[in-house]
Chains A and B, each alone.
Chain A
Amino acid sequence: MNAIDTRAVSHYLAGPARWTAAAAVPKGGLHHGFGGGGIILVILVLAALVFSVTRIRGRRHTAHDDDWGRRPPTAPLSPAEPPGTATPAGPPPHVTLSGAPAAAGSPAGPGPSDSFVTPRSPASPGAAANGDLSTAPGRTPRHAISFERPADGWAVETHGLTKRFGANVAVNGVELLVPRGVAFGYLGPNGAGKTTLIRTLLGLTRADGGTMSLLGIPVPAERKRAQARVGAIVDEPRFHPHLTGRDNLRLLAAARGGDARQRIGPSLERVGLSARADDKVSSYSMGMRQRLGVASCLLGDPELLVLDEPMNGLDPAGMHEMRAMIISLVDEGRTVVLSSHLLDEVERTCDAVAIVDRGRVVRQGPIDELTRGASAGSLQVDCADPARAAQLIDEAGIAAGTSLTDAGMTVTLPAGSSRELVADINRRLVDAGISVYGLQETRASLEEWFLSVTTRLGEHS
Chain B
Amino acid sequence: MTSPAPAAEPLLSEGRSPALRGRTTVPRRLGAALPTWDLIATKHLELRKRRGLMITVAVMIIAPTVLVMGLRLGFHLFDPAHNGPAGDPGVFSALANLMAEFGFIVAAVVGAAAATTDLSDGMFRYLVITGRSRLALYLARIPAGLAILVPAVAVAFTMLCLVTAYEAVPQPTTVGMNNGVSIPANYDQAQLQTWVRQHPAAAGQAFQFGPGPGSGGSTKVGPGAPASYPGIATAFSDYTAAEDAQFNPAPNEMFKIGLWLELEIGIGFMVGLGLGSLTGQRTLSTILLIGLEIIVTPILARTAIPYFLDGQRLDVGVAMDQLRPAALGPASGGGGGPGGGLFFGGRGALGIPPMATWAMISVIVGWIVVWSVLGAWRMMTRDA
Contacts and interface: CB of A to CB of B under 8 A. Distances in A.
B15 to A, nearest CB: 5
A252 B20 contact: no
A333 B21 contact: yes
A333 B16 CA distance: 7
A243 B41 contact: no
24 contacts: A118-B17, A125-B14, A125-B15, A202-B125, A202-B128, A204-B383, A206-B383, A225-B24, A228-B27, A230-B129, A231-B129, A232-B126, A239-B123, A240-B46, A240-B117, A251-B123, A256-B27, A256-B131, A257-B132, A265-B11, A266-B11, A301-B13, A301-B20, A333-B16
Given A112-B21, A129-B14, A332-B20, A251 B28 contact: no
A253 B39 CA distance: 9
A250 B127 CA distance: 11
A122 B25 CA distance: 27
Which of A120, A240, A260, A331 counts the most B-chain CB atoms under 10 A from its CB? A240
Given A259-B11, A270-B12, A332-B17, A301 B125 contact: no
B123 A240 contact: yes
B38 interface: yes
B350 interface: no
Given A250-B45, A257-B27, A152 B129 contact: no
B255 to A, nearest CB: 35
Contacts of A254: 36, 38-39, 41-42
A122 B129 CA distance: 32
Interface string B4-45: 000000111111111011011111111100001011011101
B131 A224 contact: yes
B51 interface: yes
Contact of A296 (B36, B39, B126): B126
Nearest to B121: A240
A298 B41 CA distance: 22
Contact of B27 (A199, A260, A332): A260
Interface string A261-297: 1110111001000000000000000000000000010
B82 interface: no
Interface in B90-136: 117, 121-123, 125-133
Interface in B307-330: none
Nearest to B127: A255
A238 B384 contact: no
B137 interface: yes
Nearest to A236: B122
Nearest to A260: B27
A243 B20 contact: no
Interface string A290-320: 0000001010110100000000000000000
A205 B21 contact: no
B121 A334 contact: no
Given A260-B27, A263-B12, A241 B121 contact: yes
In the complex, the 6 A-B pairs of residues with the closest C-beta atoms, listed nearest first: A333-B17, A238-B122, A258-B27, A227-B131, A257-B27, A204-B384
Contacts, number: 165
Contacts of A266: 10-12
A331 B16 CA distance: 9
Given A205-B383, A270-B12, 10 more contacts: A203-B129, A205-B384, A227-B131, A229-B24, A238-B121, A242-B51, A255-B130, A256-B27, A257-B132, A301-B11
A59 interface: no
Contact of B42 (A227, A250, A303): A250
B23 A301 contact: yes
Given A225-B26, A251-B43, A333-B20, A256 B130 contact: yes
A304 to B, nearest CB: 10
Interface residues of B, number: 47
Nearest to A204: B384
Interface of B: 10-18, 20-21, 23-31, 36, 38-39, 41-43, 45-46, 49-51, 117, 121-123, 125-133, 137, 383-384
A223 interface: yes
A215 to B, nearest CB: 9
Nearest to A301: B13
Given A227-B130, A234-B125, A266-B12, A261 B38 contact: yes
A271 to B, nearest CB: 11
Contact of A228 (B127, B131, B384): B131
Interface in A23-70: none
Contacts of B117: 240
A447 interface: no
Contacts of A241: 121
Contacts of A449: none
B42 to A, nearest CB: 4
A120 to B, nearest CB: 8
Interface in A301-357: 301, 303, 331-334
Contacts of A191: none
A301 B12 contact: yes
Contacts of A206: 383
Contacts of B384: 199, 203-205
B84 to A, nearest CB: 45
Interface string A195-235: 00001001111100000000000000001111111111011
Contacts of A259: 11, 27
A239 B42 CA distance: 14
A112 B127 CA distance: 31
A242 B17 CA distance: 36
A204 B128 contact: yes
A197 to B, nearest CB: 14
Given A228-B26, A234-B129, A332 B13 contact: yes
Nearest to B29: A257
Contacts of A255: 39, 127, 130, 132, 137
B131 A267 contact: no
A224 B24 CA distance: 12
